[in-house]
Amino acid sequence: MKNFNFPKKIVVFIAFIFSTSLGTAGSYDDFFKAVKFDDLRVVQRLLQRGFDPNTVNPDGVPALMLAVRESSLKVAELLAAHPQTMAEVRNDKDESALMLAALKGHLNLVQKLVENDADVNKTGWTPLHYAASGGHVPVIDYLLENSAYIDAESPNGTTPLMMAAMYGSPESVKTLIQAGADPTLKNQLGLSALDFAVRGQRPNAIELMHAGLARWAARTK
């Protein structure tokens, strides 16, 4: 067998590249393990070393989205506030990290995402739809304070009030009505928020919708 004698500088360079690749692979695995298990210390250390917060896992899921999905709140808030993080990430259902945080009622995370330019009024289903579905009044209030469109329409014309009436809490229905949501709107199926409340068998929401409709009628005379 022929014996190759590489110059020492080349050997050192190859060893450097090989060790760097191994180190990067280790960091990648450590990062996503820490994201999944909400290990703030490890994620902080890796970010300080220059690890990209927008890295995706083997399934193509960005770290921020994974942290929100796994309810790794400490890591999610760290990533959401990081200046290099692209806050407006979406999954394959066109749901943003802000939408998922709103659905779960994670107000601090919602605030950090909005402060880092997550889209409050994305086209189609919006964070306000999701906050209303979860019945989370503090998140609803915060989104409205940050210019969320109260009567935003989903692709089929469904509004946040409709979602609150069927899935949310009575408090979320009341909050949206008092904030000026239009109770007379109907979606493409011809259903109003009252219809949603009836279909969802939500007595409190039905009562609130009747009261809201009466006030709306009196106001628009």
Average pLDDT over residues 13-33: 60
| Number of residues written out for the chain | 221
pLDDT tens-digit readout, 158-169: 999 999 999 999
> Residue 209 and residue 99: Cα distance in Å, rounded?
25
pLDDT tens-digit readout, 77-101: 999 999 999 999 999 999 999 999 9
Q: What is the mean pLDDT of the chain?
A: 90
Q: Where in the chain is the domain with CATH 1.25.40.20?
A: 120-221
> Residue 174 and residue 71: Cα distance in Å, rounded?
28
What is the percent of the chain where pLDDT is above 70?
A: 89
Q: CATH homologous superfamily of domain 120-221? A: Ankyrin repeat-containing domain (1.25.40.20)
What's the pLDDT score for residue 140? Answer: 98
What's the pLDDT score for residue 131? Answer: 98
pLDDT tens-digit readout, 138-184: 999 999 999 999 999 999 999 999 999 999 999 999 999 999 999 99
> Residue 154 and residue 50: Cα distance in Å, rounded?
39
What's the pLDDT score for residue 7? Answer: 52
Fold of 6-86: 1.25.40
Q: Which neighbouring-strand residues pair with 56?
A: 62
Q: Is 158 helix (H, G, I), strand (E, B) or coil?
A: coil
